[in-house]
Amino acid sequence: MDGQPHPAATDAASDREAVIKVRGLRNQFGRQVVHDGLDLDVWRGEVLGVVGGSGTGKSVLLRTIVGLNKPAAGSIEVLGVDVLNASEAERQSVEQRWGVAFQDGALFSSLTVLQNVMAPMREHLRMSRGLMKALGELKISLAGLPPLACGKFPSELSGGMRKRAALARALALDPEIVFLDEPTAGLDPIGAAAYDELIGELQRSLGLTVFMVTHDLDSLYAICDRIAVLAEKRVLVEGPIETMTSVDNAWVQEYFTGPRARAAQEKGLRGK
């Protein structure tokens, strides 16, 4: 590929558009091979849950797609752009079309919540400070935080509020794709359920595509349209969560048929 935008892949059966297309991905750190020959499509408008056992490289895959890790081999297209070979201008242009919320928030500790959310705007947009402030306050509200949170520093927030602040920053540039890394990790069940509900509402109202790395079975049943299971250094299987119980793999069977999975399934059915 030449780094120029290419038509996004589509699924001939349903004309779904693949906004992320990964082929033959190999991630390696020294002698440790994390991924080898990994293929994955993410369809526009879906919530994809990426799961796998410890060490399968769930977060590594996310970080590779968004450009924080350089793979040893393979290709990655996001929104029709070959991100591994794109020019700097092309790369910056496509990066403005996605947002990322990391597990620990990764907020700037010396900036307030509002300043954190305004940071991507200052970097990429040309607009008055007043307009950026108004947009920042809107994003903070969309993330479910009260106006009082705008002036607080990350250290003054609870874990759940930091996650919502990180989400507000991820939404700063009106992205088409949002990447979430273990978004409910460390939250109590009530807080986790509220966050799942928020993501579902934002996905529907804003038309987002959500790439979510998670181990939370409740999240998988509550909001995910499709699951991708990482195992054996690749995407072992992908599909609706209902199909996971028929997969002939010990980890998949234990994960999706155990007591916690049954409880999560019942909770998810009650919520629909």
pLDDT value of position 238: 95
For residue 121, give every residue at least 6 positions away whose Cβ sits within 8 Å of its Cβ, in sequence order, or none. 127, 132, 135, 136, 172, 173
Question: What backbone torsions phi and psi does residue 51 show, to the nearest 5 degrees?
Answer: -125, 170
Quick check: 244 pLDDT over 70?
yes
pLDDT in tens, 187-201: 999 999 999 999 999
Quick check: 3 pLDDT over 50?
no
Over range 108-116, report the average pLDDT.
95
pLDDT value of position 65: 97
Mean pLDDT of all residues belonging to the chain: 90
Considering only CA atoms, give the Rg of the chain: 19
The fold of 17-97+181-272 is Rossmann fold (3.40.50)
pLDDT value of position 105: 66
pLDDT in tens, 23-68: 999 999 999 999 999 999 999 999 999 999 999 999 999 999 999 9
Quick check: 9 pLDDT over 70?
no
Place of tokens 């949170």: 149
When pLDDT is cut at 50, 70 and 90, the band that residue 269 belongs to is: low
How far apart are alpha carbons 59 and 84 in whole angstroms? 18
Quick check: 5 pLDDT over 50?
no
Q: How many CA atoms lie within 13 A of 134 on its CB side?
A: 5
Minimal CA–CA distance to 180: which of 195, 201, 194?
195
Q: Which of 87-91, 124-128, 171-175, 262-266 has the lowest mean pLDDT?
A: 262-266
CATH 3.40.50.300 in the chain: give the residue spans: 17-97+181-272
